[in-house]
Amino acid sequence: MFGRLGAPEIILILVVIILLFGAKKLPDMARSLGKSARILKSEAKAMKEEGKSSDSASAAPPEPPAQRTIQAAPGDVSSSRPVNEPTDTTQR
């Protein structure tokens, strides 16, 4: 029933979206969605690297976390902000 979406159905869906949100807001929405995806990707990469480094350095004493800067978009200096990483105080 809903498994087959052809070109007319997709065009109809796009027309409804444009009517609901307006043509002026769609580029802004797409831009903010792209920024969010970039931030999510960079945070996931940082978590993977942190997991690998914690496995190899589990016997070493913990170092204070370095301050990182998260940028929303490449070259967008106005929206970058320094972030303090939360510290894990639990002992294993």
* Residue 68 main-chain phi, psi, to 5 deg: -110, 160
How does pLDDT run across 30-60, given as a tens digit for each residue?
899 999 999 999 999 999 988 887 766 555 5
CB of 71 within 8 A of CB of 80? yes
Beta pairing partners, 82: 69
Q: Among 63, 62, 83, 79, which residue's Cα sits nearest to residue 71? A: 79
* pTM for this model (two decimals): 0.41
Interval 63-79: pLDDT, tens: 666 666 665 666 555 65
Residues 6+ apart with CB under 8 A from 58: 92
User: By the 8 A CB rule, do 68 and 82 touch?
Assistant: yes
